């Protein structure tokens, strides 16, 4: 429920415990999962936000240490300087915390949050090398590739992905799932993304939660019933993500032709061909 911090924190902790009981060693929670997404204005962000050492992340850290699992979850951060961020916490099984601030802000997020200016991290955890991208971050192939190049075995994607009209534009799967499958296959990594379901303040969520393997296959998801909470689980052999080969002759990293690629960081221009 939007703005009900105590209830939402309790529900995330219930979900974490349920996942641990199901054998999970890594748990991914949605974006902004303790506040909700549909803020009216920046003042509401500041009212509901909290620092990375606030009660939401502190509770997750205590659970991670108690249950011996890795948690990645999205939260509304107001840093100690008062700036609002759409952030994700990556918490190791001993409670160690790495925080990431979403770099690519979607639509009205640009009116509410300050974009992060640090690269998304890859954290060596008890559950493997985990990278993080928050929702719209994952739409950028450069962002996902950079995490893979930095050694991620699995990219965790907390997200709140709204349904955009017209519905069914990428049947049979939402584009958010297509992108996850493509990123997993192109980079030979696992991708685990956790999306919202239901509705909030007039926004319908896409329910694009999935777990993908390095071959671009769905290991779990998508959620069948978008009106009821669900938990997706899968067994991921993370060693498979450290083998970038495609058969006997190809390797998704070694086969790159860096001498032919434009520097995506410095140019948006394309070469025009005149016949």
Residues annotated as catalytic (active site), given as ranges? 31, 102, 135
Only one residue has tokens 């016949």, namely 275
Rg (CA), the chain: 19
Cβ-count burial 118-127 (b if 16+ within 10 Å, e if not): eebbbbebeb
DSSP state of 265: T
- Contact (CB, 8 A) for 158 and 194: yes
**Where are any strands of DSSP class E within the chain?**
26-28, 70-78, 84-91, 97-101, 122-125, 128-132, 154-158, 190-194, 199-200, 203-204, 210-212, 218-220, 245-246, 250-251
Q: Which residues pair with 132 in a beta bridge?
A: 156
Quick one: which H or E segment has residue 7? helix 5-21
Strand bridging mode 122-125 / 128-132: antiparallel
């Amino acid at each position: 429920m939007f703005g009900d911090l105590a209830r939402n924190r309790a529900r995330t902790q219930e979900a974490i415990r349920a996942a641990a009981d199901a054998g999970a060693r890594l748990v991914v929670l949605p974006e902004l999962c303790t506040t909700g997404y549909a803020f009216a204005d920046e003042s509401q962000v500041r009212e509901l936000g909290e620092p990375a050492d606030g009660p939401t992340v502190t509770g997750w850290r205590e659970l991670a240490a108690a249950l011996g699992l890795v948690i990645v979850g999205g939260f509304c951060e107001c840093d100690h300087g008062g700036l609002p961020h759409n952030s994700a916490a990556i918490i190791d099984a001993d409670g160690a915390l790495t925080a990431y601030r979403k770099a690519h802000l979607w639509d009205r997020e640009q009116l509410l949050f300050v974009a992060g200016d640090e690269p998304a991290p890859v954290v060596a955890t008890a559950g493997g090398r985990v990278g993080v991208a928050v929702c719209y971050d994952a739409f950028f192939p450069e962002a996902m590739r950079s995490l893979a190049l930095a050694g991620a075995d699995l990219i965790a994607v907390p997200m709140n992905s709204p349904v955009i009209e017209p519905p069914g534009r990428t049947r049979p799967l939402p584009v958010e799932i297509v992108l996850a499958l493509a990123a997993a296959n192109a980079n030979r990594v696992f991708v685990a993304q956790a999306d919202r379901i239901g509705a909030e303040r007039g926004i319908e969520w896409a329910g694009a939660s999935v777990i993908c393997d390095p071959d671009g296959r769905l290991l779990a998801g998508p959620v069948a019933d978008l009106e009821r909470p669900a938990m997706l689980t899968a067994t991921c052999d993370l060693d498979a993500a450290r083998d970038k080969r495609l058969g006997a002759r190809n390797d998704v990293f070694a086969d790159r032709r860096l001498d032919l690629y434009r520097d995506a960081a410095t140019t948006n221009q394309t070469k025009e061909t005149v016949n």
